[in-house]
Chains A and B, each alone.
Chain A
Amino acid sequence: MVNKSLSSRPQAADKTGHKNISAEAIDLVEVIANMHDPKAGAVVLFSGEVRNHSAGREVSYLDYEAYDAMADKMIEEIVETAISKFDLHNARCIHRTGKVEVCETAIVVVTCSSHRAEAYAANRYIIDRVKHEAPIWKREYFVDGTMEWAHNCSCHDHPVH
């Protein structure tokens, strides 16, 4: 099943050959257009987007840096694990690098399964692991002209109620 999933994936996300890392804007419509699968009754797309505020401060934009080769490899491994663990028909994750403006996509995760429970759970699994584990960092540029490297993943500061 894993090989079948791989064969239906789109080509490299950018010119570097790292298909899970992109220095170019992510086109969500194009990404999901390549993910439809006749066996999948559920296709979940998560777009992690740049918001205009962080810890009470106004954000102008973010700049992402990655250890491209290793981040690409790790995202691939996380996606493959999710496909196997949640019995998905297909999955994809692309993370941006470089300057990403407010409302633009910094990361997209698409999961395809027969039924929605697995697609939702797998999507959450992929985004959580990529955020925590992949060697990718963001620098926040604020409206007041200052900037700083973001601290560790803050998902635990915003629990789901």
Chain B
Amino acid sequence: MEKVEVQLFAALTDHFGRNVAVELDGNYKVAAVVDALEKQNPAAIGLLKDCRFAVNENFVDLNYELSDGEQIFIIPPSSGG
């Protein structure tokens, strides 16, 4: 069981705070992180479905496998400007 650090922004912080540690067991894909967050807070499922994901300041998809110590940033739909 490994913990992955997750950084959150904007409306997601209302559900999880600025950061949260998610425990994963064997599957370190981004999709597994999202599944864990959805289980932790089902009210965030709709918003999580619209999010993008970044690791080391680059976008990654749900199939990206996190390496040891890598943080994931979960990015809700933009509303700048």
A-side interface residues toward B, CB under 8 Å? Answer: 48, 64-67, 69-71, 73, 95, 106-107, 127, 130-139, 149-153
Contacts and interface: CB of A to CB of B under 8 A. Distances in A.
Contact of B11 (A70, A135, A149): A149
Given A149-B10, A149-B11, A67 B54 contact: yes
B78 A134 contact: yes
Given A70-B54, A73-B57, A65 B10 contact: yes
A64 B78 CA distance: 11
Interface of B: 9-11, 14, 50, 52, 54, 57, 73, 75-81
Contacts of B9: 65, 67, 135, 137
Closest 8 interchain pairs by CB? Answer: A136-B80, A137-B10, A131-B81, A150-B79, A149-B11, A152-B77, A135-B75, A137-B79
Contacts of A64: 80
Given A65-B10, A137-B9, A149-B11, A107 B75 contact: no
Contacts of B11: 137, 149
A149 B79 CA distance: 9
A26 B50 CA distance: 31
Given A70-B57, A137-B9, A149-B11, A107 B81 contact: yes
Given A137-B11, A152-B78, 8 more contacts: A95-B80, A127-B81, A135-B52, A136-B79, A137-B10, A137-B76, A137-B78, A149-B76
A131 B79 CA distance: 6
A145 B79 CA distance: 21
Nearest to A132: B78
A137 B11 CA distance: 9
A71 B52 CA distance: 13
Contact of A153 (B14, B73, B79): B79
Nearest to A155: B81
A151 B50 CA distance: 11
A136 B10 CA distance: 9
A10 to B, nearest CB: 21
